[in-house]
Structures are given as C-alpha cells and as structure tokens.
Structure 1
Amino acid sequence: MFAVQVAEALTSAGHSIKGIASPRLRKGKVVEDISTIDRLRAWALRHEVAWTDATELRARNIPDHVHLIISAHSHAFIGRQTRARASIAAIGYHPSLLPLHRGRDAIKWTIRDRDRVTGGTVYHLTERTDGGPIAAQEHILVPPDATVESLWRDQLAPLGVHLLMRVVSDLSNGVRVMVPQDEQLASWEPSMDAQLLFKPELVALPGPDSNFMTDANKWALVA
C-alpha cells in the first residue's frame, strides 16, 4: 500500500507518525486478519500510533501544533478547516502530470488514451480538486506493455514516495515551491468504475531527535 510506503519513508527519515486515518471495516465483513484488508491501520496498531476512521477525519482530529498535512494519493477531499490546522502546508500526490488527467482514475485514463508520457505531481491542496499549485513534478515514459496495475506499482507509486519526501525536505528547509497550474491545459476525466471512497491516510510528526525545526515546531502528515 502506497500510504504504508510513505509512512515507512517518513519514519526512516527521522519523522515520527502522530496519527493514521483510513476507512473503517464496515459491518457485514468478516476478516480474521485485519492486515489483509487495511495494511495502513495494521501499521498504526503495530507501531502504537493513534488511528482514526477516515470518514470521521475533521479539523478537530488534527493535533495541535501541526505544520504539514499530506494526502498520500487519497480520493478524499480535505476541507478548508482541516487544512487550516496545518500552519505551513497541506500537500497531496496525484499520479499524473497535472493539470492533465485530474480525477480519481488518472492512471486508467493514461492507459486508455495510450499516453507515452505520464508522471507524478505533488501539489498544494486547495478548494479546487487536484488543482492547487505544484510543489514538485517529474515525468516518466510509459512502457508499451504497461497496465494500470504495473504502471502504478513499478513507476508511479515509487515516484510518489520520492516526490513527497522531496517536498517534505524542501518545506523543512524553508523552501516553498508553488507553481500555478495552467488551466488552459487542464483535463478532467470522470471515474470509470471506482466506487466512492473516502480515504485520507497519515498523520506524521518528527521525532524528538529531528533537527530540521525548532523544538516549538511540530509536523503532521495526513494522507
């Protein structure tokens, strides 16, 4: 799972996870091992990190003194009041070269349209879905035999971890990149067959050994 990969990258870089949000297992589903259906929640339990049902994630659930909110390729819209809980930025990852292929099925449309070039974008969350200023972006070439699954697994997910960590590093060093998206180039494709999903995922804070901010400053990441 991408969110778990992001969480692992954050902790490896010296940040500590403050809380996790992912969809709760709904009634009627019987699963012996929750880790088989929600690896992110299992990760939170294993690391003794507070967990929140994603459908209940609101501004009140974001801890005080949070500086950064990150949406790790989430299909959820993080509202204005929730974003405002982060004093520095709220960012997200989208698997396309924004402003192209806005929407939840960006990879499916990339394959359907036989795009030869695609990429990943980390952008600042705003009221416009997938439309905020760009913080980091890189392109990749689409292999001729790529599928939705292989393109995500082999290229776009690893690229997303890389770009998110780059932007976290930039922000921790006081570098704030915000390049407006060109609306004349924007495209939005409807969801093909995905069910509605509310899935903000991650809240992270740097550990006490982190030295990229003062003791009075704390970080949080939500995906």
Structure 2
Amino acid sequence: MRIVVIGQKWLAATVAADLAAAGHDLHIIAPNAEDRLAVAAHALGVPLSLHGPGRRLDGTAIPPCDLAVAAHCHVFLPAEARAAARHGVIGYHPSLLPLHRGRDAVWWTIHNGDPVTGGTVYRMDDGYDTGPIVAQEWCFVRADDTPASLWRRDLAPMGQRMLGGVVARLGEGGALPETPQPELRPRLGPLEQPASLGG
C-alpha cells in the first residue's frame, strides 16, 4: 500500500521503518529536518515533506495515498487533508480513549493515579482524539512510574505494535472495525450521589 506517515520522534520513525520493511510505499511528513522521523526518511530513501512549527497541517499536505498513519503526531489534520487517503487516517493515542484526550495523556494518567492505562488506535475525525476506535490494548501502571517510564516501557512499544497490526490487517483486505467512543460521564462531587443510592 502507499502509506503516508505523519508524526515525530521514536514512535513515528520506528513505525515508518516497520512499514517500509513490510514492503509498503512510504511518504513521510515530519516537523523538521532534525527530527528522528526525517532522519528515518533519509535512511529509508523515501520522500519527505516538512510541515514546520504550526499546529495545523495544510489541506494539501497529504499526497494521494491508500492510508495515512499518525504516530506521535501533534498537528491537526483537517478534513481536506484526510480526504487524500483512500482509507482515511489512523492515529495512536496513549490512553484508553475517551480517557485523557489531548497532548498530555500519559501525564494525566500518572497525575490521576490510574492503576490501568493503555493505547488506542482510532480513525481521525474533526475532533481532538474523538474518532471511532479501531483497536485498544491495556497495561498496568506501576506505583513508581513516571510519564517517561510508562511511555518508554509500555505505551510507545504498544503503539508501534498496534499500528503495525492494524495496517497489516488492512493490507490483507480486512475491514477495520470501528466503535464510536463512549460518552464520558462527569465525576460526581463529594456531596453528590446518584438518586438510586439514597441518603
């Protein structure tokens, strides 16, 4: 398949290398020439585009392709950009969506004392981490974890494995399952109780 990889750092570079090794035809979009993803593009000998420091990708930035894969991606991909990919854009988010949407998901996991977390591959839409879920995996959070240790030990390798698995399934002709994200229920305050619990 012709795949565009958008992202940065270790996760995006590793995913790109895996996809190239699997025989896919890649085009890479990285934030700058020094990023590990850009370095990987040169090492792999594949086309490279740089999107610069902005938070929104230009509508024509993604070339026509079968699929776009967002790995450690911190830019918004508008509908006109996503439309260039025949099978859309899938992304990896390091939480069990809909929990901890946004850029600081791993920090919030540690800050909230979550005992369990995980990763989600989802189809990107017009929201921030709101698209339908394609795949999820979970892991335990250790008592002494920091955001960095949790990311490096479990969540980044999980993203590499999950994105590769989803792409392989699509490449074999399998349809990607899509489950809408459930609505988050607001937390009850200390003096609030559900009516069914009584007083």
| TM norm structure 2 | 0.81
Aligned counterpart, 2:11: 2
Alignment of 1:37-186 (within 5 A): 38-55=35-52, 57-64=57-64, 66-172=65-171, 173-185=173-185
Percent sequence identity is: 45
How far 1:186 sits from its partner (Å)? 8.1
Q: Conserved in 2, the CA contact under 8 Å of 1:101 and 1:186?
A: no
How far 1:13 sits from its partner (Å)? 2.0
Question: How many equivalent pairs are there?
Answer: 174
Q: Conserved in 2, the CA contact under 8 Å of 1:116 and 1:142?
A: yes
Q: Tell me how far apart the structure 2 counterparts of residues 148 and 50 of structure 1 sit (CA, whole Å).
A: 33
Aligned counterpart, 1:29: none
Aligned counterpart, 2:192: none
Q: Which runs of 5+ in 1 are unaligned?
A: 26-33, 188-223
How far 1:185 sits from its partner (Å)? 4.2
Structure 1 residues 176 and 185, CA, compared in 2 at 3 Å: closer, same or farther?
farther
How far 1:171 sits from its partner (Å)? 1.9
Which of the residues 23, 32, 35 maps onto 1:14? 23
Q: Tell me how far apart the structure 2 counterparts of residues 119 and 186 of structure 1 sit (CA, whole Å).
A: 21
Aligned counterpart, 2:193: none
Aligned counterpart, 1:202: none
Aligned counterpart, 1:210: none
How far 1:167 sits from its partner (Å)? 1.2
Aligned counterpart, 1:23: 31
Q: Deviations over 1:121-142 (max 9, x none)?
A: 0000001110000000011001
Q: Give the number of the structure with larger relative contact order, counting CA–CA contacts within 8 Å between residues 6 or more apart.
A: 1
How far 1:157 sits from its partner (Å)? 0.5
SS at match of 1:63: coil
* Bigger-Rg structure (1/2): 2
Q: Which moved more, 1:119-128 or 1:68-77?
A: 68-77
Q: Tell me how far apart the structure 2 counterparts of residues 89 and 63 of structure 1 sit (CA, whole Å).
A: 12
Q: Conserved in 2, the CA contact under 8 Å of 1:124 and 1:132?
A: yes
Structure 1 residues 149 and 72, CA, compared in 2 at 3 Å: closer, same or farther?
same
Q: Deviations over 1:140-163 (max 9, x none)?
A: 001111111111011000100111
Q: Tell me how far apart the structure 1 counterparts of residues 87 and 28 of structure 2 sit (CA, whole Å).
A: 20
